[in-house]
Amino acid sequence: MTARRPRRLHVALDTQPTGSAVHRVRATDLRRAAAMHDDLSDPAGAVIAVLDVEFLIAPTARAARIEYRNRGLDADDATTVRYVGTPGGLAGLIADIGAAGVADGVVLVGLDDGDSVELLSSTTLPRLLRDGIVDADTASTLRAAVDVTARESASHGGS
């Protein structure tokens, strides 16, 4: 039996420009996102439907939930899929979105001052690369966007 290669996904930060072929989808759950993806699907691949995923990650799920509460965020206010947990859990969600055909990728929207984006770069991204979910070019572009975000956050007094 041959192992199936994971599907490579478009993964970007919301601060990165998207091309004209990329259509961002906001849906409060994966079922709605999949339906929107199906509506946008193009057999020729001329349109890429990516799901906006808001995220807040920390070294532990407990720490992420505490930070989420401390920021006064409320799940009822979410307008798209929202993930609060660990870097590994976020990598798993991204992989599952691709494997289930929910979207052709994700645009990640950080919910904090940059700590989540730094963890994304140091922990989530290497796992996505190792597992074949993103290619080296995507990883490099994403790391560059993380660096820009970190510099901007530092210049504005963020973490």
Q: Give CA separation, 69 vs 59, 65, 66, in Å.
A: 16, 6, 5
> What 3-state class would DSSP assign to 78?
coil
Helices (H), 18-131: 30-40, 61-70, 87-99, 115-119, 125-130
Place of tokens 């091309």: 19
Tell me whether residue 104 is exposed, middle or buried, using C-beta atoms within 10 angstroms of its C-beta: 0 to 12, 13 to 18, 19 or more.
buried
> How confident is the model at residue 20, as a pLDDT?
83
149: Cβ contacts below 8 Å, ≥ 6 apart: 13, 15, 110, 114, 117
Torsions phi, psi for 71 (to 5 deg): -85, -5
For 65-123, the pLDDT digits (tens) are 999 999 999 888 899 999 999 999 999 999 999 999 999 999 999 998 789 999 999 99
For 7-55, the pLDDT digits (tens) are 789 999 998 888 888 899 999 999 999 999 999 877 776 788 999 999 9
Residue ranges covered by each domain of the chain: 10-155
At the fourth CATH level, which superfamily is domain 10-155? Luciferase-like domain (3.20.20.30)
Torsions phi, psi for 78 (to 5 deg): -65, 135
